[in-house]
Amino acid sequence: MNYPMRSFRLYMSHRTYAIYVAPVMFLAVLALTVIAGLITGMVTGLPLPPEAATTFSGMGMLVSVLIGFFISSSALAVNRTFATVLAFGGTRRDFWMGSAMGFGVTALIAAVFATALLGIEELTNGWFIGVPVFGTPLLGNGDYLITFVAVLAYSLAALFTGAAFGTIFRAFGATAVTMAIIGAVLIVAGIVAVLVWQREFTIQAAIDLGHWLPSVLAAAFALVCLLVSYVTNKKATV
């Protein structure tokens, strides 16, 4: 077995983080959303009328819960397994390739599970009470392909963000991580400022891309973080 695959298997051996987290967190947010819908239904009646159901569109932000955990788990992953891979004869490149494949599998699991839950949501007319959890604007308003791609892109962006910060910590220490976070915030703020300044272009791009826009932005961000983690990983020390 080559060393990248050994690194991949080492990552996947932590099944709680690599496999089970996304399904469990999706189901937890789903349960909380349905409970909130039932409480609202005590006033509006069930199934929820459209005007009440639209207030749950923000529940598409369930992805933010997953993103937060993915950032922390991938940052821990690159620090937890790095020394082990090198100790058994792997290179930094082997470690990064194996970890990247593992992140891809974790993101794929999240995307498949979210798309499957969207299907169940539509079959049950919003979990029998008219609550949209996965059929929200952030996830494509019920489009299966957009939902799959969106969750995949969001997950990869989060995982490689954590990997980037984790490798920066491994290579340069805690102070460098703090500076990187500040720098990332300033860069994002600068990009937002440019988009507002060129608002005609921004509005037209949003119109052209429609529900694909968040996925495109997340994929671009994931690519940047992937490159940062790859370059920084070469400087990491045991």
- 127 part of a folded domain: yes
Q: Give the range of the structural domain holding residue 151, as residue numbers without chain letter.
A: 3-233
Q: What is the C-alpha separation between 133 and 71, in angstroms, rounded?
A: 23
Cα of first residue to Cα of last residue in the chain, in angstroms, is: 23
Q: What is the C-alpha separation between 174 and 165, in angstroms, rounded?
A: 10
Taking Cα atoms as reference points, which of 138, 114, 131 lies closest to residue 27? 114
- 152 part of a folded domain: yes
Residue 149 is encoded by which pair of tokens? 């791609």
Q: Assign 3-class secondary structure to 143-205.
A: CHHHHHHHHHHHHHHHHHHHHHHHHHHHHHCHHHHHHHHHHHHHHHHHHHHHHHHCHHHHHHH
CA dihedral (114, 118, 120, 124) positive or negative: positive
- 238 part of a folded domain: no
Residue 32 is encoded by which pair of tokens? 């909380």
Q: Tens-of-pLDDT digits for all 238 residues of the chain? A: 577 898 899 899 888 888 998 888 888 888 888 888 898 888 888 888 887 777 765 555 566 667 777 888 888 888 888 878 887 788 888 899 999 999 999 999 999 999 999 999 999 999 999 888 888 877 888 899 999 999 999 999 999 999 999 999 888 888 988 898 898 889 888 888 888 888 787 777 777 778 888 889 889 999 999 999 999 988 877 6
Domain count along the chain: 1
Q: What is the pTM of this model?
A: 0.90
Residue type, 218: A
- 121 part of a folded domain: yes
- 78 part of a folded domain: yes
- 65 part of a folded domain: yes
The DSSP element (H or E) to which 12 belongs, if any, is: helix 3-12
- 86 part of a folded domain: yes
